[in-house]
Amino acid sequence: MPFLPPHDGPELERFEHPLASRYASKAMVRLLSPLYRQRVWRRLWIALAEAESELGLPVTKAQVAELKATQDAVDLEAIARHEAALRHDVMAAIHAWGEQAPGARPIIHLGATSCFVTDNGDLLIAQEALTLLRRRLQDAIAALSAFAAQWQDQPTLGFTHFQPAQPTTVGKRATLWIQDLLLDLEDLDHLIRTTPVRGVKGTTGTQASFLELFEGDGAKVEALEQRFCAKVGFPAIPVSGQTATRKLEDRIGQVLCGIAASASKFACDLRLLQHLKEVEEPFESKQIGSSAMPYKRNPMRSERINSLARFVLGLMPSSYQTSASQWMERTLDDSAHRRLTISQGLLAVDAILVLFRNVASGLVVYPKMIEARLSQELPFMAAEVLLMEAVKRGGDRQDLHERFRGAALEAGRRIKAEGRPNELLKLLAEDPAWAMTEAELASLLDARRFTGRAGDQVRQFLAGPVAAALKDHAPADEAAVRV
């Protein structure tokens, strides 16, 4: 028997991709939508027709005007009908547009191959999507920068191997997250600056069809590509087969994975800090942490960042397999894969950065918990300070060192075996060799003495590299977080 009862209508049977319906922003979903893709294709065909007209091919201004007049009137249902019959997405789009612009129908796609619109179009859409991600990345940097500035001097226990180490500050720890994002921003800027379009290359990349159109005039073919690129705003890759090299998608994937990894590191750290009850992600007044345990405040946004990042990082191996297995001038085993990886990678990283900004903007810090944990460990870390003070009072440094070691081991045993608080200072005060009371020893344990230049490092970092990275920052739309 079926598990589900009969339902009402086809809408309930349609799969909705969670990246589009639940996680990514409306702005990113729009860029990757079928409608927007068709409009980009039409923009490319218009640019080609204009350039061909300007260089003397039989493309009239009236035909170009007709294309422009119908550019945005995309009929997706008509395209679907044609594709069902033709089994070819590009030809379906051409036929549907030809019905809307009958006068221009003969010159749409003149001299071009399908990859003229698919490759050029995908690269143009990717450029827009990457530009949106750049703004979101800067949003996350800005949010963390404000947090780092607020807590730049708050001492906190540092961890190596997630074991107590020398103190740092809450703000300094945040700069480590920011540093990763600055490197991602550099990579993203390089990618945006250097990613080309395919250009006007013809069926196997030789431009033979365009050379025929221009009756053997290679200079005009070169001029055609130059004019086309000027109209779309990006240079063409110097050479290609029928497709542009699939390594262009690999480069996009590398940057997306870099951002995902940085965000995942931040989210992992925050989950550990929330476990320690030192720093928490935001939590709405009516938010439910657990259906069974109503007292819980689970770090679900950070967990979602980790989950989405894991998905993005898993895309790259198969992307490399695609670029590695292309045959000669092209093969079609890349098509379905590219439709999945490029779009899903962009959607997932968009969702990650929307969450990142939301979490980083609403972090909750609990200084008392931070101070309590630091005070529990600080006596162990103050060995050198305590030794120097005892030597000033006439003690023997080597003898004191051995006495400190013995007292520290006993204090550690009591903490772990008996569940007692850190009694190191009490044990030292009971030893006449130290010649100090417990209160005198405690007065030497100002946590700020042990954070080094952490606060100054935060201030210099925010005023220098971070300020430079945010110089042109224009915040992205405040996308909703569906918790």
Catalytic pick among 21, 290, 325, 443: 290
Residues 6+ apart with CB under 8 A from 38: 74, 76, 79, 93
- Cα-based distances in Å from 388 to 398, 400, 408: 11, 10, 17
Nearest to 342 by CA among 246, 243, 198, 477: 246
Of 7, 161, 285, 291, catalytic: 161
Residue 318 CB neighbours (<10 A): 12
Residue 163: beta bridge partners?
Answer: 160
SS3 label, residue 214: coil
How far CA 202 is from CA of 171, 199, 219, in Å, comes to 55, 9, 15
How far apart (Å, rounded) are the C-alpha atoms in residues 157 and 143? 23
Is 109 a known active-site residue?
Answer: no
Report the distance separating Cα 437 and Cα 199, nearest Å.
80
- Find the helix packing angle between 76-86 and 34-54, rounded to 10°: 80
Task: State both tokens at 107.
Answer: 């010159």
- Distance, in Å, from the CA atom of 305 to the CA atom of 260, rounded to the nearest integer, reads 8
Q: In whole angstroms, how far apart are CA 293 and each of 272, 273, 290, 296, 297? A: 20, 20, 5, 6, 9
Q: How far apart are CA 357 and CA 377, in angstroms?
A: 33
First to last CA, the chain: 35
Buried-state track 89-111, b at ≥16 Cβ within 10 A, e below 16: bbebbbbbbbebbeebbebbbbb
Cα separation, 365 vs 148, whole angstroms:
12
Active-site residue, 95 included: no
By residue count, the chain amounts to 483
Q: DSSP for 27-71?
A: HHHHHTSHHHHHHHHHHHHHHHHHHHHHTTSS--HHHHHHHHHTT
What are the tokens at 209? Answer: 């069809």
Two structure tokens written together for 165: 């180490």
Of the candidates 200, 185, 401, 177, the one whose C-alpha atom is nearest the C-alpha of residue 305 is 177
Residue 49 is encoded by which pair of tokens? Answer: 């027709």
Active site residues: 161, 290
